[in-house]
Structure 1
Amino acid sequence: MSSLFVPDSVARNEGGISDADLSAQFAAHAEEAKRRERKGQWHLLFILVFVLGPLVVYPLARLVMLSVTGANGFTLHAYTAFFGNPETRGMIGTTLGILVASASIASLLGVAIASMLFFRPFAGARLLTRFLELFVAFPSFLVAFTLIFLYGSQGSVSIGLQRIFSLDATPLDFLFGIGGVILAEVVFYAPFVVRPTLASYATLDMRLVEAAKSLGADGWMVATKVVLPLAWPGIAAGTILCFLLTLNEFGILLVLGSAHLITLPIAIYSAATVDLDLPTAAAGSVVMLLMSLSLYALYRRVNRRAGVR
């Protein structure tokens, strides 16, 4: 009789392994799995108590408690003072305006650079890609100082233009304000969009692109009808990450933001260090934290749709 018709228990016994031995092995494997699970739970508990607890959970809890605690106990006075300030609406509007302008331009520029590097490679494209990867490790305030050395009133480009055109004053005067902040954030955060976009392009089935071209589709149609729908989850994830990082930017704002350019991070910093109004600073920090967590939740959701964990 063919071995296909031999019961599993008989086949195992013919191999020299009894049912008792198999049961013992299964029990040993199950016990080992339980030990690994318990060990992992203890590791997680250790991280929560001794790492995340003092470094993340406790400071955030203290921040929230400070924003809702007054001399007489629980109070929302800090939030009413924060939102009741006539300058708050303009400050939030300025913050969101800089965020949308900087992150949108940086995202478009990042996608354009990634598309050029992937679909139109050139000599030195690999070196440029490595430079962009290294660029994200730089502190953001270095970009601000670099722009000052180039385009500031005493910058090399400004002085060069002044001498070339025999001007009485330097022609460039835009850095210390909204224009300079947007330029610096675009330069710094565009590379953060390049890498996720390149990773998304790498998953494309290029046979679909070639098939679209063979059917007569031009470059714009291939980009909008084939590439963009397939690569959109990765591009969207990079764009949301760019918005998240730009929202939390502080170094560029501190260097290039003038006294008249008050944004939410600068207002929180001033309330805590200049006015010594810690409850109001805590309330503003909680508001900013909620905005950041909302963007992060959206980023994780898009990542899940893109198949990234």
Structure 2
Amino acid sequence: MRWTMSSSLNLERAAAAPPAPPSAHAKAHRAHIRRRELVSRLHVVFVALVVLGPLVIYPLARLVALSLTGPHGEHSLHAYSTFFSNPDVSGVVGTTIAIVFASAGIASVLGVAIAALLFFRPFAGAAIVTRFLELFVAFPSFLVAFTLIFLYGSQGAVSIGLQRLFHLNAPPLDFLFGAGGIVLAEVVFYAPFVVRPTLASFAQIDMRLLEAARSLGANGFMVAWRVIAPLAWPGIAAGTILCFLLTLNEFGILLVLGSAHLVTLPVAIYSSATVDLDLPTAAAGAVVMLAMSLSLYALYRTVDRRQAMGAR
């Protein structure tokens, strides 16, 4: 009984006693953590001021400020009213949307088909084709346009060869400088951008599920539609959205293969700035296009984040 009472008294005294002062090692550890957090914050401030400030933040701020400048230098929405009141703008926006949907839609379907072929039906040289597609995305887009001109233009190698082979009076291929050529060039250039995320999404599929579906009597189409597509849709959706985003902002192919009768939004903004010298209207169009691009990018990041969470 005495031992129990003394033990309880010792416990009460220990609880009531002030906490022991932290050791020197603990103090040094906390000081190191604070220094590391301070250095990290300084790095963020440095990147924001030295890199993002002059290269991103300031140009965007100047672009928005220029779009809000009136004819006499005052702040107004005159540039936006001029841009949207132009009767040609609706046609330009419609042409841009039509080309984007045609190019990105075909490129997305082609990219998914190529990825499925490389992953589920590998052949000799499939690894080389995959590496080439990864390297292809580093090429400037206007090189694809010039390559198509040298091959399929009215004076291209294929067109001249067909003319001589069939003894024609004129080159048989004359479609590049217009909507057909732009869609073809953008499909060729942007389809590889869909292949890579789709392959990554296919790699996360448990192959035992496909074997189980085949053992239950599912044919190839049912396996692709009922098993592969639901499991791989985040990667496919991310690649498709990225393709739409890039085709919306494409300029090199449009500048090379576009014509005076086929004006898209990037070309119209460029013409307003360089030909008409109407910088506020060009800035207003650029801000509208920037808003569209940021919306697509936000959607892409959302889908890509879901894909990353699914991979975990």
TM-score, with length taken from structure 2? 0.91
Instruction: Give CA-to-partner distance per residue, 1:96-123, whole Å, 9 cap, x none.
Output: 0000000000000000000000000000
CA shift at 1:21, angstroms?
A: 8.9
Amino acid of the structure 2 residue aligned with 1:199: A
Q: Indicate the residue corresponding to 1:97 in structure 2.
A: 98
Query: Using the alignment, how far apart are the partners of 1:187 and 1:27 within structure 2?
Result: 61
Q: Indicate the residue corresponding to 2:4 in structure 1.
A: none
CA shift at 1:30, angstroms?
A: 2.7
CA shift at 1:214, angstroms?
A: 1.1
Q: Indicate the residue corresponding to 2:36 in structure 1.
A: 36
Instruction: Give CA-to-partner distance per residue, 1:33-76, whole Å, 9 cap, x none.
Output: 22211111110001101110011000000000000012251111
Query: Using the alignment, how far apart are the partners of 2:238 and 2:210 within structure 1?
Result: 22
Amino acid of the structure 1 residue aligned with 2:94: G
Q: Indicate the residue corresponding to 2:64 in structure 1.
A: 64
CA shift at 1:29, angstroms?
A: 2.6
CA shift at 1:205, angstroms?
A: 0.7
Q: In the comparison of the two structures, how many residue pairs are matched?
A: 291
CA shift at 1:28, angstroms?
A: 3.0
Q: Indicate the residue corresponding to 2:10 in structure 1.
A: none
1:219-298 → structure 2 map (5 Å cutoff): 219-298=220-299
Pick closer, same or farther for the CA change 1:27–1:210 going to 2, 3 Å. Answer: farther
Q: Indicate the residue corresponding to 2:171 in structure 1.
A: 170
Gaps of 5+ in 2: 1-18
Pick closer, same or farther for the CA change 1:26–1:234 going to 2, 3 Å. Answer: farther
Query: Using the alignment, how far apart are the partners of 2:106 and 2:64 within structure 1?
Result: 34
1:73-92 → structure 2 map (5 Å cutoff): 73-92=74-93
Q: For 1:176, what is the secondary structure of its paired residue? A: coil
Pick closer, same or farther for the CA change 1:72–1:135 going to 2, 3 Å. Answer: closer
Query: Using the alignment, how far apart are the partners of 1:280 and 1:251 within structure 2?
Result: 21
Query: Using the alignment, how far apart are the partners of 1:302 and 1:23 within structure 2?
Result: 48
Deviating above 2 A after TM superposition, structure 1's stretches of 4 or more consecutive aligned residues are 19-31
CA shift at 1:26, angstroms?
A: 3.6
1:146 aligns to 2:147 (yes or no) = yes
Instruction: Give CA-to-partner distance per residue, 1:114-147, whole Å, 9 cap, x none.
Output: 0000000000100000110110010000000000
Q: For 2:237, what is the secondary structure of its paired residue? A: helix
Amino acid of the structure 1 residue aligned with 2:165: I
Query: Using the alignment, how far apart are the partners of 2:220 and 2:92 within structure 1?
Result: 43
Q: For 1:259, what is the secondary structure of its paired residue? A: coil
Instruction: Give CA-to-partner distance per residue, 1:170-222, whole Å, 9 cap, x none.
Output: 11111000000000000000000000000111111111111111111111111
Q: For 2:169, what is the secondary structure of its paired residue? A: coil
Amino acid of the structure 2 residue aligned with 1:38: L
Query: Using the alignment, how far apart are the partners of 2:21 and 2:147 within structure 1?
Result: 71
Query: Quick one: percent identity of the two aligned structures?
Result: 73
Query: Using the alignment, how far apart are the partners of 1:229 and 1:79 within structure 2?
Result: 43
Amino acid of the structure 2 residue aligned with 1:109: L
Gaps of 5+ in 1: 1-18
CA shift at 1:20, angstroms?
A: 5.9
Q: Indicate the residue corresponding to 1:183 in structure 2.
A: 184
RMSD: 1.5
Query: Using the alignment, how far apart are the partners of 2:30 and 2:133 within structure 1?
Result: 48
